Structure 1
Amino acid sequence: MTLTIEGLHAGYGGGTVLHGVDLTVPEGTALAVLGMNGAGKTTLVHTIAGLVKARSGSVQLGGTELARRPAHAIARAGVALVPQGRRVFASLTVAEHLTLSRRKGEWTRQRVLDLLPRLGERLTHKGNQLSGGEAQMLAIARALLTQPRLLLLDEPCEGLAVDLAARVRSVVAELTRTGLTVLLVEQQPEHARAVTGHLVHLENGTLGAVTEGDEGDTQGAAGISVLR
C-alpha cells in the first residue's frame, strides 16, 4: 500500500526533530532515506510506527490515517519495523521468536525460512548465540511474519561485516520484488543503492536533495519527495 506523509512534525520532550516532512512511497516500491546521525531518520520511522507520537501532520497507509494512533493499532494496520540494533530477545530461541511473531497470512514460517535459510539451521539457538548477521535476519523474519504491507528498516546493515551486509541488502532487494512497500533508513549511500534507486536526504529534520537512481525517477524539492 502507498505510504503518504504530509506536514509531519515530531520530537521528544520540548524539542522538535521532524519539521514538516512530506513523503510519498507508492505501493510496491522502495525508498531509502539517507542522512547523518542526528538527522531525524530513526525519529521518522519511529513516528510512522507509532513509537513516537506525531505532533502534527498526517501519516497514511493506503488512505488510512495512522498518525497519533497507538503503536499496536499501527502494527495491526500492516506496518512492521525492523529496528536499529536488531533487538532480538537474548533468552528466546529462533523458533520461539518465529512462533511469537506469526500471524495468519502469506508470510508463513516456511516461506521465511526459504528466504532466510540460515535461520533454519539455527532454530534451537538463542538470541544471544547468534551472529550480528543472523540476528538481523531474525529481526527481518520476525517482521515479515506479522504480515506487513509496509516494512520499515532502520539501518539494517549497521555493524555487519561486508559479506553479511551484502546478504542483508540482497534480502531487502528481494523483498521489494514481492510487491512489499519498503522504507529503508541508511547512512551509507552504497548500501541504499544496492536496494533501490529511489533516494532522499534528511538533514536537520527536513527532507532536502533528492537523488535520481538507475531504478526509477524521483522528483522533489526541499521538504518534498514524490516517487512517480
Structure 2
Amino acid sequence: MSLLELSNISAFYGASQALFDVSLTLEEGQVLAMMGRNGMGKSTTVKVVCRLLQHKDGQVIFDGQNVKSVPSHKVAQLGVGLVPEGRRCFSNLTVYENLVVAARSGEWNFASVSKLFPRLSERKDQKASSLSGGEQQMLAIGRALMTNPKLLILDEATEGLAPVVRQEIWRAIERLKSDSSMSILVIDKSLKELSRIADTAVILEKGRSVWNGDFNELTPDVTDRFMGV
C-alpha cells in the first residue's frame, strides 16, 4: 500500500515555476532515494510534501489523505518527520531539550534514540550550539524520530560531514530500515550507500521526474546522464 503518492505536481516560487509534473510513489516500509544534481527540485519537492510550499497542480496523497489544504504542522502530526538540509537544531537548547520539544509517544523515545546515537546520551546536557556538525546531524535525526513518524524524510543528511561520521549515519539509516516499519525518503547522491538501503528511486532533472523505478534497475547510463558532472 502506498504511504506517499505525488501525481503531476507543479509548484512555483512567485512567478518562477520550480516543479513540472513531478510524480513519485513510496510504499509503506520502503526506502525511496530521491536523486539528481543540485538545484533540480529535490528540496522543493520535500517542501511540497511537508506543506512548506503550496503546489498549483497535481495531488499529494499521504496515508490515504489529500493534504493540499492541510497546514504544515498538521502534516507533521499525521506522521511526516523531516530532517531538513542544514540540520536547524535549536542552538540555545540542550540536546535533551531538542529531542523532547516535539516528542510524541511511541517506539522512539530518548532511550531508543540514545541507543541509535550513543553520543547524544553522552552530551544530553550540552547546548546544541556546542556540538560538532556530525553530532548536530544526529540530533536532527533523533529529534525527527522522537515524533514517531510514519515517514522519515532525510534531506542531504550526510552532506559536508567527515567520512567517519557519514558512515556512522549511514549505518544508523540501515538500522532504521531493518529494525523499524517506517517509510524513509532519502535525498542523497551517494550511490554506493544508497544501494544498501533503497528499494526504489526517483531522479529529478530541471524540476521534472525523469526516472522512476526499482533502485537495482538503475544503470550507469542513467546515473551518468542525470547525475554526472
Q: Does TM-score exceed 0.5, indicating one fold?
A: yes
Moved more, 15-24 or 98-107: 98-107
Whole-Å separation in 2 of the counterparts to 1:47 and 1:122: 34
Provide the residue aligned with 1:39 in structure 2.
40
Provide the residue aligned with 1:187 in structure 2.
189
Please tell me the residue identity of whatever aligns with 2:113: V
Asked whether the 8 Å contact 2:24–2:202 carries over to 1, the reply is no
Whole-Å separation in 2 of the counterparts to 1:77 and 1:17: 26
| Alignment pair present for 1:97 and 2:98 | yes
SS at structure 2 position matched to 1:8:
strand
Whole-Å separation in 2 of the counterparts to 1:77 and 1:197: 23
- Cα distance change on mapping 1:211 and 1:27 into 2, 3 Å: closer
Please tell me the residue identity of whatever aligns with 2:11: A
Q: When you count helix as a share of all residues, which structure comes out higher? A: 2
Asked whether the 8 Å contact 1:81–1:143 carries over to 2, the reply is yes
Whole-Å separation in 1 of the counterparts to 2:63 and 2:91: 35
Superposition pairs of residues 28-177 of structure 1, within 5 angstroms: 28-177=29-178
Whole-Å separation in 1 of the counterparts to 2:69 and 2:37: 26
Please tell me the residue identity of whatever aligns with 1:147: N
Whole-Å separation in 1 of the counterparts to 2:158 and 2:196: 12
Unaligned residue ranges in structure 2 (runs of 5+): 219-229
Please tell me the residue identity of whatever aligns with 1:47: V
Give the C-alpha shift of residue 212 in structure 1: 4.4
Asked whether the 8 Å contact 2:10–2:18 carries over to 1, the reply is yes
Moved more, 53-62 or 203-212: 203-212
Q: Percent identity between the aligned chains?
A: 38
Provide the residue aligned with 1:22 in structure 2.
23
Deviations 1:59-117 (A, max 9, x none): 11221111242101111110111000111111111011112121112212211111111
Asked whether the 8 Å contact 1:192–1:199 carries over to 2, the reply is no
Whole-Å separation in 2 of the counterparts to 1:6 and 1:212: 18
Asked whether the 8 Å contact 1:32–1:186 carries over to 2, the reply is yes
Unaligned residue ranges in structure 1 (runs of 5+): 219-228
How many equivalent residue pairs? 216
Provide the residue aligned with 1:196 in structure 2.
198
Whole-Å separation in 1 of the counterparts to 2:214 and 2:150: 25
Superposition pairs of residues 207-226 of structure 1, within 5 angstroms: 207-210=209-212, 212-214=214-216
Give the C-alpha shift of residue 187 in structure 1: 2.8
Asked whether the 8 Å contact 1:11–1:43 carries over to 2, the reply is no
Structure 1 length normalisation: TM-score? 0.89
Give the C-alpha shift of residue 173 in structure 1: 1.8
Whole-Å separation in 2 of the counterparts to 1:198 and 1:130: 34
Deviations 1:120-149 (A, max 9, x none): 011011111111111011000100111100
Displacement over 6 Å in runs of 4+: none
